[in-house]
Amino acid sequence: MSVLISADDLRRGGRAVLLDVRWALGDPHGREHYLGAHLPGAVFVDLETELADPPSTAQGRHPLPSLQRLQACARRWGIGRDDAVVVYDATGGLAAARAWWLLRWGGLNDVRLLDGGLDAWRRAGGPVEAGDVVPTPGDVVLSGGGMPVLSIDDAAALPTSGVLLDARAGERFRGEVEPIDPRAGHVPGAVSAPTTDNLAPEGTFLPPGALRERFAALGVGDGGPVGVYCGSGVTAAHEVAALASAGIEAALWPGSWSQWSADLDRPADTGP
């Protein structure tokens, strides 16, 4: 199943449950943005309360929700057993990828990211509507096991046998700034791979060939295992999606740097 769907293909395609995941660090107004304009029929998904458990020192800022709680949310969003799902945001998929990854992790296969999000939809002439959408509850059943996951110990060991990609901005990887987590730096042996570099200037994903070249230059592609982390397991899901688009399977570390940096017994490297 393809990771992405273009705005043109979505306009021409059949029915799909549309999920609007408007979220960004420092912007608590995702729901207000949604209410102002969204794809017709799209349901708002709150990343903080529906796509994560409450933050903790032990598990990080956005721990995975339980499978049972994710299923309850998916049913509330109107997802049925045989439905296709398309998720989007207004930031190139950086937030929506979390919903894509979680639903895939939960066992759904027909889940795709709208490539380029709301901006691409508007460029393609797609209509928008205002106000809330409250769907008829669905009956989807999530079985789990659909995507590989790393623990903190798995992540610590991965650089010796494979590649651990850090999807945060380069200055956070290098330890030059740390705006939110307890310590600056990165996991020893990790490779800097800012997830924004997966996108073209207009906010769509790079073509699969270009993504394969990007990841090969970072040491990915020799058959070894690949893992991804970020600050709290959100933008890392975007990198997992980019890798999947390039034909490369990667595991997500949900706790990410927010979990690692809170454990003072874990070393932190700085610099390139």
Which residues carry out catalysis? Answer: 230
Can you say how many angstroms the Cα of residue 177 is from the centroid of all Cα atoms in its chain?
23
Nearest to 114 by CA among 38, 28, 24: 38
Can you say how many angstroms the Cα of residue 98 is from the centroid of all Cα atoms in its chain?
3
**Contact call for residues 61 and 42 (beta carbons, < 8 A):** no
Alpha helices in 107-165 (DSSP H): 117-123, 152-157
Residues 6+ positions from 43 with CB-CB distance below 8 Å: 17, 18, 19, 20, 77, 78, 133, 134, 135
Instruction: Name the packing angle between helices 235-245 and 96-105 (round to 10°).
Output: 70
**Contact call for residues 230 and 239 (beta carbons, < 8 A):** yes
